[in-house]
Structure 1
Amino acid sequence: MRGIRRFGLRGKLSPRYLGPFEVLERVGAVAYKIALPPRLAGVHDVFHVSNLHKYIHDPEHILSFEPSEIPEDMTYEEFPAYIIDREVRKLRNRKIPYVKVRWSNHNDREATRELESAMREHYPHLFENLD
């Protein structure tokens, strides 16, 4: 069984994994055909190995599949969890402040650099303990 990585949208607002799903067959050297549930019938069922996450078998682990609520347009709302770091970049005669943001449902490796002014405008609560 494997979970599908970054299904649907790409980038920082994509869900990390969906699944687990059963591997039906290997298609070529680096692709697998996955058994998808009926609600994903419109999705092509062959995925590159880089989009799959291996399931490590544990005899005590009981798989209980709870279908996640994914709208038809494959989007969901995400929010910034906290600010990891601050940085000021110089561009000729200007200084541009950036913040490194950890987003919900993602780890620190997937954090992104955002303009500090935009983050202050939309998420002022993130700066309460920083100033």
Structure 2
Amino acid sequence: MTEMIQQVCSRFQTAQGRQKSYADRRRLDLEFQVRDTVLLKVSPWKGVICFRKRGKLGPRFIGPFKVINRVGKVAYRMDHLEKLSQIDTTFHVLQLQQYIADESTVIPLEEIQVDDRLNYIKRPVVILDKKTKDLRKKRVELMKVQW
């Protein structure tokens, strides 16, 4: 009987060690410095605050926000806007994501043209390619346009 208990215990330890190794592979040790910019995960507040769109097209992260100081080992205090005044400023590290500004995605304001109804005006720059597609009863002209 004691041999069976020892065998069960050893199998539990083997399984526990295996599961721990799987979990450790995916675990990230995130650490932020003061004055870093981070994004904040939206999912815990679904239904509390509406961020632009709802459902599938809603944002996953909002921000960027600056880290003011570190509270404990895994918590950080953020500097946020008045829109989030009803939410506490201290967040767990798993609710944060490093913000890396990509200069290629920033559009200079001089290039944006807006009409009187505040619609963005796009104009084609060059027609790159042109071909005709034959369907059963008609022909369709296809053009590849650089905007």
Coarse TM-score class (shorter-chain normalised) = 0.3 to 0.5
TM-score of the superposition, structure 2-length normalised? 0.36
TM-score of the superposition, structure 1-length normalised? 0.39
More strand by share: 1
